[in-house]
Structure 1
């Protein structure tokens, strides 16, 4: 079942009668849905963050828009729901928290900071980690339409109806008016360019939940680089190591880390993504990093750049139209999490690119699917970001590719024979004897 919020979109943009399943003033943010042993139910944690698009263009010249973001009419933080079905009418709110940890009782409109950015990292157990700036001091970023350089917060979710803050982590170069942070920022070659995104846009990337023995999380901090974080004591998170990369001006330089292979190979895959179109920014590589020694991560190489087939009317995907570059391989909420040796990346106008990484010295593209542009269905100003994300059902051997004109479900021998029967086991996993989902 697909349920749309707002008006239908077509070649002229939003059109038709608005249908909004959400209560007035509510919004749908990035969410993690997990089985909670504590509640014997599926529980959803939904992020509420500041508005990043369609309002502020230049924070240096638009103080009125800055004020709107500082004092919005919505929560800055997260909400927790018992999820008894797919639609908002089936959800029961059980908790609400602000990430303004210095003023936890602040009312809507007075809460400071960024709120929770993108998907909370929570596996249904005790520890949840989110990307958030708690207040306006997390401000060492010059990106024109963003006010905050987010760090990380850990929350105790032993009782999902009563989340408790455990810790706030920042890395050097984030906090205004703190000499050590300002020195680290000014020593960064990106300082002064008003272009590079700094800080976290997503939460820590964690291959193994802490409750199952996981010790490390991996941080993508934009132009601040790559970090290994010791999370074994989530009430006292510790930076273990750091890698810097040469500036790649424009776009986001560090947004995503694939950790699906790290437990078997010691390798993670670190990347940013493009924000400009028509070749107007450097290509964003997917960096291969060896973290087998967490204290000394090493750069191994990069994944190959996707190349159009010989029969294409262009020689590089950036010439095709729109944005070209990596986004993500999916999310930790995918059934099965990952498949060793396979990395399926969404690549915007290059669609789905599936990498064979069994030999990290010779990674190769094993399969791809490039969707068409559909000018008769999509508004011209929304055409550039052709494909937005990938999701893989590893239990049924199905790729899902989400585009600006629809959803594709794909199969490939690289993944295996597809199954179109219902999954044999629910996802996220449930405890033995748990009640059937509604």
Structure 2
């Protein structure tokens, strides 16, 4: 039985260290199985969660030992996984998040031999035994994160040769054994190979885009937010670019559109220990006029403990993204908050968001993620909330938690 450091409206159900591969990042759940991308373990963990009180790892799909596969998507009995050179193993935390350079993948060896770079497709008709059926290699260092809900096109952040950092690419999934890139978009200044020069300092790089109604809401770390029209996947078209860094601290990571309410929730990731950067925020935008998004509120900062004096990375990370088939709400927002665990907010009044639940796991007993400047504090990473309110939550070090949302 796991005893949290604090909990409100969320109860513990089950936990697994994933067979010693506790370094979980993104999690997807499909047909009674959780698929968890990892960094240090270099592969995807498959866990049988049909009995959520006793989750049981049943498979592991390894990738190249110099690449990571932190992010993945499931739909239509398929699993899409990114593969990218693990730059975090080569850089400090501050250097990884602090700046960009023109990408030349050859400096890291031969792609396909010294590292893998692209997107792998698995058939998960047998959910416990994924079968690799396709791979899309990219000319660069790989992909970081994907958005795909089963339609014709997937949307990924790609670190390609000649660019200063990750840009948006659109992938045609008509034949999942042979996915192909059909479009791309970047912020002017990123295409160094074409002679473009960044007009900024710091790291402007696409983390990922969430797409709804042919509009892509893309988060660009210190480059803020772009809203793109992607009706024509070959030629995404900019609607608006907004950036609030500076004066705020950047790290724009996840954007959740709530089109039925003309709202957008945007989380800025805490990327360093809290004593090394300013407090990061999760913003609520009014997007009634897509070319003119207006920030109207921020989510409350957790205050059930003194997380600042505790140290470590204290601030937003991921949002539950209201995927088809999952728990969907335009008023209840689920988020991971790194050292502060899982947080739940109610935005029925979007001008006055209120915290309505939290679960703070105990500190890990085994450290999987190399520290490299990161303090030894829990790091609640990602979550997937099922229709019945079961919450599947990962940690950089402590494996997979299964929790129950008890609120309304």
TM superposition score normalised by structure 1: 0.70
The answer (yes or no) to whether the contact 2:342–2:380 under 8 Å persists in 1 is no
**C-alpha distance 24-281 of structure 1, shift in aligned 2 (>3 A):** closer
Match of 1:284 among 262, 269, 280: 280
Q: Show the counterpart of 1:159.
A: 175
In structure 2, the residue corresponding to 1:33 is in which secondary structure?
Answer: strand
Q: Show the counterpart of 2:9.
A: none
Larger radius of gyration: 1
Residues 9-47 of structure 1: CA distance to partner in whole angstroms, max 9, x if unpaired? 9xxxx9xxxx99446746662221211xxxxxx112211
**C-alpha distance 392-163 of structure 1, shift in aligned 2 (>3 A):** closer
Q: Show the counterpart of 1:49.
A: 84
Q: Give, in whole Å, the separation in 2 of the partners of 1:387 and 1:32.
A: 21
Q: Give, in whole Å, the separation in 1 of the partners of 2:251 and 2:367.
A: 28
State the 1:349 CA deviation. Answer: 1.3
The answer (yes or no) to whether the contact 2:22–2:398 under 8 Å persists in 1 is no
1:306 equivalenced with 2:311 (yes/no): no
Q: Give, in whole Å, the separation in 2 of the partners of 1:197 and 1:49.
A: 18
1:258 equivalenced with 2:256 (yes/no): yes
**C-alpha distance 91-241 of structure 1, shift in aligned 2 (>3 A):** same
Residues 63-100 of structure 1: CA distance to partner in whole angstroms, max 9, x if unpaired? xx98653645233111222224345xx33332221222
1:85 equivalenced with 2:126 (yes/no): yes
The answer (yes or no) to whether the contact 1:330–1:389 under 8 Å persists in 2 is no
State the 1:4 CA deviation. Answer: 4.6
Q: Show the counterpart of 1:328.
A: 318
Residues 249-278 of structure 1: CA distance to partner in whole angstroms, max 9, x if unpaired? 77x52111122xx21111111122112224
Q: Give, in whole Å, the separation in 2 of the partners of 1:263 and 1:24.
A: 37
1:384-395 to structure 2, matched below 5 A, reads 384-395=376-387
Q: Show the counterpart of 2:241.
A: 242
Q: Show the counterpart of 1:373.
A: 363
**C-alpha distance 175-268 of structure 1, shift in aligned 2 (>3 A):** same
The answer (yes or no) to whether the contact 1:220–1:254 under 8 Å persists in 2 is yes
1:96 equivalenced with 2:135 (yes/no): yes
1:357-368 to structure 2, matched below 5 A, reads 357-368=347-358
TM superposition score normalised by structure 2: 0.75
1:138 equivalenced with 2:163 (yes/no): yes
In structure 2, the residue corresponding to 1:48 is in which secondary structure?
Answer: strand
**C-alpha distance 3-274 of structure 1, shift in aligned 2 (>3 A):** closer
Q: Give, in whole Å, the separation in 1 of the partners of 2:21 and 2:80.
A: 26
Q: Give, in whole Å, the separation in 1 of the partners of 2:22 and 2:148.
A: 32
Q: Show the counterpart of 2:141.
A: 114
Q: Show the counterpart of 2:189.
A: 173
Q: Show the counterpart of 1:205.
A: 210
Q: Give, in whole Å, the separation in 2 of the partners of 1:31 and 1:357.
A: 28
In structure 2, the residue corresponding to 1:53 is in which secondary structure?
Answer: helix
Residues 344-403 of structure 1: CA distance to partner in whole angstroms, max 9, x if unpaired? 1111111111111110111111112222324x5447947635132342434112223333
State the 1:411 CA deviation. Answer: 2.9
Q: Give, in whole Å, the separation in 1 of the partners of 2:169 and 2:340.
A: 35
The answer (yes or no) to whether the contact 2:122–2:130 under 8 Å persists in 1 is yes
The answer (yes or no) to whether the contact 2:222–2:245 under 8 Å persists in 1 is no
Greater shift, 355-364 or 70-79, is seen at 70-79
Q: Show the counterpart of 1:127.
A: 153
State the 1:407 CA deviation. Answer: 3.5
**C-alpha distance 277-56 of structure 1, shift in aligned 2 (>3 A):** closer
The answer (yes or no) to whether the contact 1:334–1:394 under 8 Å persists in 2 is no
State the 1:53 CA deviation. Answer: 1.5
Relative contact order, CA 8 A, sep 6+: which one is greater? 2
After superposing on structure 2, the runs of 4+ consecutive aligned residues of structure 1 that deviate more than 6 Å are 5-9
Q: Give, in whole Å, the separation in 2 of the partners of 1:221 and 1:125.
A: 24
Q: Give, in whole Å, the separation in 1 of the partners of 2:61 and 2:89.
A: 20
In structure 1, the residue corresponding to 2:133 is in which secondary structure?
Answer: strand
**C-alpha distance 6-353 of structure 1, shift in aligned 2 (>3 A):** closer
The answer (yes or no) to whether the contact 1:242–1:297 under 8 Å persists in 2 is no
1:312-351 to structure 2, matched below 5 A, reads 312=305, 314=306, 317-331=307-321, 333=323, 335-351=325-341
